[in-house]
Amino acid sequence: MKQPGVSGIVTGAKVQRSHLKMPRLKKSQLRLITLCFSTLMLMAYWEKIDNNIVTHVKSFSYRYLLNNFTFINASFRVNPKDAVKFSNHRYLINQRKCGEKDILLLLFVKSSSENFERRQAIRSTWGNVTYIERTLGVTVRVLFALGLHPELEQREKLKMQLLFEDQKYHDLIQQDFMDTFHNLTLKLLLQLGWKETYCHHARFFMSADDDVFVHTPNLIHLLQGHSNAKDLWIGRVHRGSPPNRDKESKYYVSQDLYPWLSYPDYTPGSGYVLSSDVATKIYQAALTINASFHIDDVFLGICAKVMDIDPKNHAFFSGEGKAPYHPCIYNQMMTSHGHVSDIQEMWRRVTEAEVGHISSGLIWRLYCTVAKVRLLCVPFLSNSYPCKAAFF
Ligand SMILES: *[C@@H]1O[C@H](CO)[C@@H](O)[C@H](O)[C@H]1NC(C)=O
Ligand SMILES: *[C@@H]1O[C@H](CO)[C@@H](O)[C@H](O)[C@H]1NC(C)=O
Ligand SMILES: *[C@@H]1O[C@H](CO)[C@@H](O)[C@H](O)[C@H]1NC(C)=O
Ligand SMILES: *[C@@H]1O[C@H](CO)[C@@H](O)[C@H](O)[C@H]1NC(C)=O
Ligand SMILES: *[C@@H]1O[C@H](CO)[C@@H](O)[C@H](O)[C@H]1NC(C)=O
């Protein structure tokens, strides 16, 4: 709106200020500036974006067109005498018994010595084996896999605490390697090795992080459906993932360590399940392979490739993603990543009686499909389950 006559009565001060004002831009000029700015930004980042696209196109082509991973057999094999050096770490804390009973699932949680509170939260929620036995009538064993704290001073301090913790709960397994990101493959060998030695009879094996929420009731129902308990490797499957060549990244892998364009298929270490026979085969392969490849889940993929075992994708294993909070999701979720402070709250919600009713009846099912589409089928926003999970 114009205000006629105002310009005539401006004071000196006001005139001065109006001189300092930016020149008014027309809409077309504004658009041009925005365009230039966007182009500049794109040019500045293009190399990165471009690199990323090219890398992915290359690795996907490698995986889907060529799908030839015969190199793995030749290049990762080592003399079994050398391979065994990776897996013969001494036990500092051990459980020598897995239980006489028919164990459905041996569930290893990868933890660190200092994460006492996370372990405690897991014991009282999804890892409460007493609760599972009473409500579902199956035996599950939950164990925590640990190495040594990298700092000597902390290590000494934690030593007694861990012994006390183990006396109380009898669920820690610790070996004498340093507990670092680059030693995760050693921790995988601990888990598989312990299963072979002490718990061969467990029908399934699972490995999970200590910041993952595992919906144990749903998972147990899933496993009970696989009555022959054979030939199963299940999780969120990463297919045709390129090795990370960014030196700044935690996941950086050098050309020397892995010169090829794509990793074999694998399931992220946040949570996956193996049937007993598959766990055994993978362990056997691991004992013939150079375990200095430090990314544990990719290493498992390499071992599986040697044995010609393929993973099965399950839409409700979240990988690195976090499940949205919604009763229709709780009903089907298997794992969800990134739960530390909300673990008790999640457990309370997923075990609430009402959740069970929600899937029964056509109306509820329709309601849930709509709710899940709205939660999961949002491009670029949903970092949890894939859109197709909405229709399960
Ligand atoms: C896979 O690649 C190797 C060499 O890297 C080659 O010898 C072999 O014939 C290839 N196999 C197939 C099925 O393409
Ligand atoms: C595990 O569940 C049982 C049975 O529901 C319960 O009595 C017990 O307090 C729970 N344990 C923990 C550590 O919360
Ligand atoms: C892995 O653990 C071994 C044994 O403790 C140690 O010598 C090595 O430095 C560790 N490696 C890394 C990368 O932390
Ligand atoms: C395993 O691989 C690493 C890295 O590529 C290499 O330095 C080491 O010599 C290999 N070990 C054996 C026993 O071949
Ligand atoms: C890898 O090599 C081993 C022994 O040399 C062989 O038994 C196995 O079938 C090979 N695996 C693949 C996928 O070629």
Beta carbon of 308 within 6 Å of any ligand 5 atom: yes
pLDDT band of residue 12 (cuts 50, 70, 90) is very low
Question: With 50 as the cut, is the pLDDT of residue 8 above it?
Answer: no
Pairwise CA distance, residues 367 & 378, whole Å: 17
Nearest CA to 346 out of 333, 364, 359, 360 is that of 333
70 CB under 6 A from ligand 1?
yes
Residue with tokens 């190399």: 47
Residue 18 has pLDDT above 60, yes or no: no
Q: Ligand 1, atom 3: nearest CA belongs to which residue? A: 70
Residue 218: predicted pLDDT = 95
For the ranges 145-149, 201-205, 278-282, 385-389, the lowest mean pLDDT is seen at 385-389
Pick the atom of ligand 2 nearest to 135's CA. Answer: 5
**Of 100 and 390, more confident:** 390
Q: Which ligand is nearest to the CA of 85?
A: 4
Q: Give the per-residue pLDDT at 19.
A: 47
pLDDT at 47: 63
Q: Is the C-beta atom of 306 inside 6 A of ligand 5?
A: yes
CA distance 317 to 304: 19
Q: What is the Å distance from ligand 5's center to 130 Cα?
A: 42
The answer to whether the CB of 183 is under 6 A from ligand 3 is yes
- For residue 130 and ligand 1, the question of a CB distance below 6 A is answered with no
At 22 the pLDDT is 53
Average confidence score pLDDT of the chain: 88
Q: How far apart are CA 324 and CA 383, in angstroms?
A: 9
- What pLDDT, in 10s, does the model give residues 362-373? 888 899 899 999
pLDDT, average across residues 124-133: 96
pLDDT of residue 357: 58
Residue nearest to ligand 4 atom 3, measured at CA: 292
Q: Which atom of ligand 1 is nearest to 66's Cα?
A: 14
**What pLDDT, on the 0 to 100 scale, is given for residue 99?**
83
Q: Which domains does the chain have, with CATH numbers?
A: 76-313 (3.90.550.10), 327-391 (no CATH)
Which pLDDT band, with edges at 50, 70 and 90, does 2 fall under?
Answer: very low
Looking at the predicted structure, is the pLDDT value of residue 101 above 90? no
- What is the structure's pLDDT at 227? 72
Q: Give the pair of three-digit tokens for residue 226.
A: 């696989």
From the CA of 129, give the closest atom in ligand 2.
Answer: 1
- Helix, strand, coil percent content, the chain, rounded in steps of 5: 50, 15, 35
Which of 116, 123, 131, 344 has the most ligand 2 atoms within 8 A of CB, as the residue to mutate? 131
Q: Which of 78-82, 149-153, 226-230, 244-248 has the lowest mean pLDDT?
A: 226-230
Task: Say which ligand is closest to the CA of 183.
Answer: 3
- Answer yes or no: is the C-beta of 82 below 6 A from any ligand 4 atom: yes
Give the span between the Cα atoms of 139 and 106, in whole angstroms.
9
Higher pLDDT, 82 or 143: 143
Ligand nearest to the CA of 284: 5
**What's the half-sphere exposure (Cβ side, CA atoms, 13 Å) at 65?**
7
What are the CA-CA distances from residue 391 to residues 324, 354, 365, 369, 377 (Å)?
16, 21, 10, 6, 11
Alpha helices in the chain (DSSP H): 12-20, 27-61, 70-76, 80-87, 116-123, 129-136, 152-169, 184-198, 216-224, 276-286, 296-306, 327-330, 343-351, 353-358, 362-376
> Rg for the chain (alpha carbons), in Å?
27
**Helix/strand/coil for 177:** strand
